[in-house]
Amino acid sequence: MSEKVEIKVHLDEKVYHALDWYIQSTSYWVSNDNRDRSISEYIADVVEEWLKMEARNPQDAVDYIKRELCLLLDLEAEAP
């Protein structure tokens, strides 16, 4: 098993409540006493899967970086 690193994530209250509600309907839900653990495990899995997806096909990241640079440089982005 690999080492784990603990991080702190800030969510808007509205997003947190929606996430909490959602997780209670999934297999991630442990119990009311372990709400934070349930949310943490879900977020860790989502981030890991997103990064794997980006590694296989990084087009989302490329498009995002291109758009941001165009905004910063006041350029019009070319159509894909």
| Token representation of residue 17 | 């409540």
Q: Confirm whether 3 is domain-assigned.
A: no
- Give the pLDDT confidence score for residue 3 in this predicted structure: 92
Question: Is residue 79 assigned to a domain?
Answer: no
Residue 8 lies in a domain: no
How high is the pLDDT of residue 8?
A: 92
Q: 67 is in which domain, residue-wise?
A: 13-72
Q: Is residue 6 part of a domain?
A: no
Per-block average pLDDT, block size 10, for the chain (80 residues)? 88 94 92 91 92 84 86 77
80 assigned to some structural domain: no
Per-residue pLDDT, 48: 92
Residue-level pLDDT at 18: 94
Number of domains in the chain: 1
Quick one: 6 exposed, middle or buried, by C-beta within 10 A (0-12, 13-18, 19+)?
exposed
Does residue 4 lie within any of the structural domains? no
Q: Does the predicted TM-score (pTM) go above 0.75?
A: no
Does residue 21 sit within a domain?
A: yes
